[in-house]
Amino acid sequence: MKYVRLGTSGLKVSRICLGMMTFGDTVTRRWHLGEEAAEPIVKQAAESGVTFFDTADMYSGGVSEEITGRLLARLFPHRDDYVLATKVYYPTGSGPNDRGLSRKHIMAAIDASLRRLGTDYVDLYQIHRLDRETPIEETMEALHDVVKAGKARYLGASSMSAWEFAKAQYTARAAGWTRFVSMQNHYNLVYREEEREMIPLCRDQGVAVIPYSPLARGMLAGNRTRDGRPTTVRAGTDPLAESRHDEADFDVVDAVRALAAERDRSPAQISLAWLLGRPGVTAPVIGATKVHHIDEAVAALDVALTGGETARLEAPYRPHPVSGHE
Q: Which residue type does 32 have?
A: H
Number of neighbours of residue 4 by Cβ within 10 angstroms: 14
Angstrom distance (rounded) from CA 134 to CA 157: 15
Judge contact between 169 and 180, C-beta under 8 A.
Answer: yes
Angstrom distance (rounded) from CA 205 to CA 245: 30
Nearest to 41 by CA among 29, 59, 27, 53: 53
Judge contact between 194 and 182, C-beta under 8 A.
Answer: no
Q: How far is CA 154 from CA 86, 123, 124, 313, in A?
A: 11, 6, 5, 35
Question: What is the set of active-site residues?
Answer: 59
Nearest to 271 by CA among 323, 312, 319, 326: 312
249-254-256 Cα angle (round to 5) = 100
State whether residue 217 is helix, strand or coil.
Answer: coil
